[in-house]
Each structure stands twice: as structure tokens, then as C-alpha cells.
Amino acid sequence: MHNASPVPGSPSGGEPLLHILVALPAEARPLIRHFHLQRANPPSPYPLYLRNNLSLVVTGAGAQACEDATRWLLFRTLHSKPRLMLNLGIAGHPHRPIGEALLAATVEDTGNIQSWRLHQPIATPWASERLITRPEPERNYREAALFDMEAAGFCRAATALANGSNLICLKVVSDNRQQPVERIDGKMVSRLIEKHLPGIEQLLGQAGYRGSMDGYSS
């Protein structure tokens, strides 16, 4: 049975909750620095970082890990429905350039033959693309789509427990036919995410994020 008590350090007084879920520590590091997030105390089952009305969870790789972490986070915040849930991370694509960020218009889980149509925010710098979640990194790029390993798990949990929230998947292209997945390392991943911090902050601002480009005021 999940504990439904509030997340330590989460906002009170009806502030909108904004959740970011990433798979990898390398994806989290630029966000932690930029938004001045603090590790939750006491420790939680997943790495959890907080500041005012923003939370960041590192889920681990794979759809099941992401689904479990999303469910855990939503059970922990049952007192307040989130205004925005953002699944952020890297993804492969056959021909999109390395470093391009794209919103997932739809997410498909090839394993369970499920699909979800996601919220498309207005006034962002990103185009939209189809996203396919697979259990292993995609190396053949057979379809003109993004490929990741987590988004379907995020959608499965979030649509069940946060119905009505704005669910967004934002993926940064990390590999393609010219630069395969084997070339990816942690430093590269952090650089790819860091490049899009201004747009990410703009997206959070539309949903009620309290902060500035220089991070939160103390």
C-alpha cells in the first residue's frame, strides 16, 4: 500500500504542483543546478528534488521504472492535483539533428499496444513528433519517429492517477543514423538538456512556476 502523505517540502496553500520526471541522473543535473532544487529530506524511494512548487524525480531507465516512480509521486501528492507533469529526457530519431528538442504529440507503447495523445502547450520553441517507447534503445530507426524507453510508463500511470492534468513529454534527440546510441555518455546528455533550459522554464512558467531565469530567490 502506498503512503499518501504529502511530499516533504512540497507547497501548501493551494499552489499548483509542477512535476518533472527524468530517467537518468545526467538528465537531472542541469535542472537541479538551474532551478536550485534541494534533495528531499528524509530520503525517499526515488531521488526527489524540491523547491517551492516544483519537484523533480529521477525514475531510473525503462517504462516500468518510470511508471512505478510516477505512481509513487502521485500517491505522495494526493492532497493536490498537479498543474503540469513533464516527462523530460533523451530519445533517438532517424534523421532529426542531435540536440533538437521535440514535444511528443502521441506516445505509443509497442509492447502493450497502447497509445496516448498528449497536451500540446502553446508558445513554445519546439515542434511535435510521434514518440514510440521500446524496451531497449532503438538502433535501426525503422520509422520516422522519436524512440525512448520511458514515456509509455509515464503516460500509463499519469493518465490513471492525474486525469485532467497537462501531461507533456519533451525529448531531446541524442542519437540518429549518423550518430548511433553507442556514442552517448553522461556529459553529452547533460549538455543536451542544458541547451533547452530557457524553453523548459518558459513551459513551466505557463503552468505557474514561481522563479526566474537565474533560479529561485531565497
Give pLDDT tens digits for 102-114.
999 999 998 778 9
What pLDDT does 29 receive? 98
pLDDT at 218: 32
Q: List 146's β-bridge partners, or say none.
A: 131
Contact call for residues 59 and 95 (beta carbons, < 8 A): no
Per-residue cell: 102: 521535440
Cis peptide before 42 (omega within 30 of 0): yes
pLDDT at 214: 43
Amino acid at 190: S
**What nine digits make up the cell of 174?**
541524442
Sign of the C-alpha dihedral, residues 135, 141, 142, 146?
Answer: positive
Residue 152 DSSP SS3: helix
10 sits in which H/E element: none
Judging by beta carbons within 10 Å of its beta carbon (0-12, 13-18, 19+), is residue 2 exposed, middle or buried? exposed
What pLDDT does residue 216 have?
37
| Cα of 32 vs its chain's centroid, Å | 13
Please state the domain extents for the chain: 17-206
The answer to whether the predicted template modeling score (pTM) of the entire model surpasses 0.85 is yes
Query: What pLDDT does 152 receive?
Result: 97
According to the model, what pLDDT value does residue 16 have? 61
Q: Which residues pair with 172 in a beta bridge?
A: 90, 101
Superfamily in which the 17-206 domain is placed by CATH: Nucleoside phosphorylase domain (3.40.50.1580)
Residue pair 31/43 in contact by the 8 Å Cβ criterion: no
pLDDT at 164: 64
- Nearest residue to 79 (alpha-carbon basis) of 160, 22, 6, 184: 6
Q: How far apart are CA 118 and CA 88, in angstroms?
A: 14
Q: Which residues of the chain have pLDDT under 50?
A: 1-14, 212-218
User: First CA to last CA across the chain, in angstroms?
Assistant: 36
Reading the block at residue 110, the C-alpha cell is: 509497442
pLDDT at 112: 76
What radius of gyration, in Å, describes the C-alpha atoms of the chain?
Answer: 16
